[in-house]
Structure 1
Amino acid sequence: MLSNLDILVVVIFGFLGAFINSIVGGGGLITLPALLFVGLPPATAIATNKLAATLGNLTSMLTFLRAGKIDWKLLKPIVPLVFIGSMLGAFTVNYISPDLLKPLIFLMLVVVLIYTTIKRDWGSVEKRREMTKKRKVLFISTLIAIGFYDGFLGPGTGSFIIFAFIIMGFDFIQASGNAKLLNFTSNFAALIMFLFLDTVNYSYGIIMGLSMIIGAFIGAKFALGRGTNYVRIIFILVTLLLILKNGYDFFIEELYSGK
């Protein structure tokens, strides 16, 4: 039986997580701790978060799609590859501890933050690079790897996808829109695996998912209305929070494991 407090926590933090996630990613930083707070075991919380996040990402993806901010022609052949990558990641997490990736993720987030902060005009104007064969292979491989990571662990997936698109010359709004389609794809793929493994709590997942639909819609409208400068600032702030969260988790665990 869900208490009123539990429902309130799930609804409020689901809305906030989806609002942030629909703009620059990183919503799991808010929603996953909320599910752990109401008492779900870690594995169940991760699976339940995928159900809610899938609903939220679907909403923001459709909003960006209607605004013409998703390059469907470019992404059409990439979507199934990201889907497969995410399913493999969700399957692998049952055999390999996600903790192995935490130091690498921490370093990658630091690189993303430094690069985005230094290049102040980066992502403000669309300047697409020529998609040579080498760049295409590297770009697609990167997105597949990020899809695998989303199924395997997850936090920061949206930010990594946005960063990959910005490197290719997309502006923040277009990068965010494209990221929503791929993030929805990886979320949905991982969700299928978690449903198969029967680790989803439907009560919490559906309640949080409904609040995330509202948060995602408002967040996507905010991003489209405010423009690239606002999105860039939020991207930097969310990346910083992800660094602090991942760094805290990793170093605290190392400290306690050393005792």
Structure 2
Amino acid sequence: MPVLMAIGVPVHLAIGTNKFAASAGCISSAYRYAKSGKINNDLLKKLVPFTIIGSVLGVRCVLSISEEILNVLVVVMILIVAIYTFISKNLGQEDNFEAVNKKNLRLGMLMALIMGFYDGFFGPGTGTFLTFGFIKIYGYDFLHASANTKILNLTSNITSLLLFMINGQVDYKIAIVFALVMIMGAYVGAKVAIKKGSKMIKPIFLVMALFMVVKLVYQTLV
């Protein structure tokens, strides 16, 4: 999205166009994860509706909070997640998922609603927060958490995208080019993650979290 805004694309058009490309990337990686059997379909059937509701509300509230304030809040939250992940050596290294119960289902629904809302009106860091949430709430390792994250992320992206499309806020010429690049990158990334497992995903998770922090700080200051 910052690239789009840097070349003069208006903010709402940039968000909608970015959602198009992000949705394409999510479809690509979600397909790879689904084929690998790493996705909990029964759980996601219960969480997806809350993600959709959150996304719709998020898009409707897209103008209610300034981007500068959001940048600061997200930087702080991602730093906390990254530091906690770094010092917790065994976090997400083993798949300790046992079963869905009333307590973790409620927490998962709340997570899906909040992150759907967040992704609907802002977005950066959604995958990071969802992955961390799946690990902490359900005991998944990074591989299974990442796989399930892609489905919820795809849901929120497509829901938001449809609303932006209805309002004419997608530049399809730019979106298609970006989408093709993201499809290839996401497909290869998911393939490597499935092959290498959680030990490789954790360092990448930390690097991407720090990259996101740097990007958001830069956006805020420039």
TM normalised by structure 1 equals: 0.80
| 2:48 corresponds to 1:79 | yes
User: Quick check: 2:48–2:112 contact (8 Å CA) kept in 1?
Assistant: no
**CA shift at 1:245, angstroms?**
2.2
Report the count of equivalent residues.
221
Post-superposition Cα deviations, 1:26-83, rounded to whole Å, max 9, x if no partner, equal xxxxxx2332343322221111000111111011101100110111111101112101
Question: What's 2:177 paired with?
Answer: 207
User: Quick check: 2:16–2:170 contact (8 Å CA) kept in 1?
Assistant: yes
Q: Label 1:84 to 1:65 Cα distance change in 2 as closer, same or farther (>3 A).
A: same
> For 1:51-130, what aligned pairs fall within 5 Å after superposition?
51-128=20-97
Post-superposition Cα deviations, 1:76-124, rounded to whole Å, max 9, x if no partner, equal 0111210121111011103443434333212211110111001111111
Name whichever of 34-43 and 82-91 sits farther off. 34-43
Question: What's 2:148 paired with?
Answer: 178
> For 1:115-194, what aligned pairs fall within 5 Å after superposition?
115-128=84-97, 131-167=100-136, 168-194=138-164
Letter of the 2:145 partner, please give it.
A
Matches of 1:94 and 1:42 in 2, distance apart? 11
User: Quick check: 1:128–1:170 contact (8 Å CA) kept in 2?
Assistant: yes
TM normalised by structure 2 equals: 0.93
Identity of aligned residues (%): 40
Secondary structure of the residue aligned to 2:39 is coil
Question: What's 2:217 paired with?
Answer: 247
User: Quick check: 1:173–1:223 contact (8 Å CA) kept in 2?
Assistant: yes
User: Quick check: 1:98–1:152 contact (8 Å CA) kept in 2?
Assistant: no
Post-superposition Cα deviations, 1:203-227, rounded to whole Å, max 9, x if no partner, equal 0001111221111111111111111
Question: What's 1:22 paired with?
Answer: none
Matches of 1:71 and 1:45 in 2, distance apart? 33
Matches of 1:247 and 1:211 in 2, distance apart? 25
Question: What's 1:8 paired with?
Answer: none
Q: Show structure 1 runs of 5+ residues with no match.
A: 1-31, 254-259
Q: Show structure 2 runs of 5+ residues with no match.
A: none
User: Quick check: 1:91–1:193 contact (8 Å CA) kept in 2?
Assistant: no
Secondary structure of the residue aligned to 2:116 is helix
